[in-house]
Structure 1
């Protein structure tokens, strides 16, 4: 049995897509020291030392970490700030 999508289903999917927040993602790089990344996360985002360290370890071990989530414009500002600090960062929709 196959499911049939109705017009209402599609509209709800469109609304869910629009409501999805955006994310600032910081990526691992071979240049910046781990202590510097922690410093940036603490200084710019105001994260506590344990949270900044946790995020830095995700970047180091997994290759990236989501450091902020919200409106696209704000995530673009965060990404630009990370670039100003010399970190590699991108913006993406949540769930991508």
Structure 2
């Protein structure tokens, strides 16, 4: 019997249990415009215009929002790309930032 957090060989449809526990958090600031955040979410996180707009408003009014969930390998490059654009972003898992 294999470890519960590993993908069994030969079954690409099995999801890595631990991989889905990461969130890409984007934080509100007084520097970036709505248009810049929306454009960045569309280009980096592959959101639709509607998704990116909703995320931007939630970020603005709530102070932060988990704009994407997935594996560390998927989200880390997105986080770095957002930071490169001047947007404050972090990864979290189980309520802790990493």
Q: Separation in 1 of the partners of 2:76 and 2:37? A: 19
TM-score, normalising length: structure 1: 0.74
Please, what is the CA RMSD of the aligned residues? 1.6
Aligned residues: 79
Show the counterpart of 1:55.
55
**Structure 1 unpaired stretches of 5+:** 1-14
Show the counterpart of 2:33.
33
TM-score, normalising length: structure 2: 0.72
Q: Which runs of 4+ in 1 moved over 3 A?
A: none
Structure possessing the higher radius of gyration over alpha carbons: 1
> Which is richer in helix?
1
Instruction: Kindly state the Cα deviation for residue 73 of structure 1 after the two structures are TM-superposed.
Output: 2.5
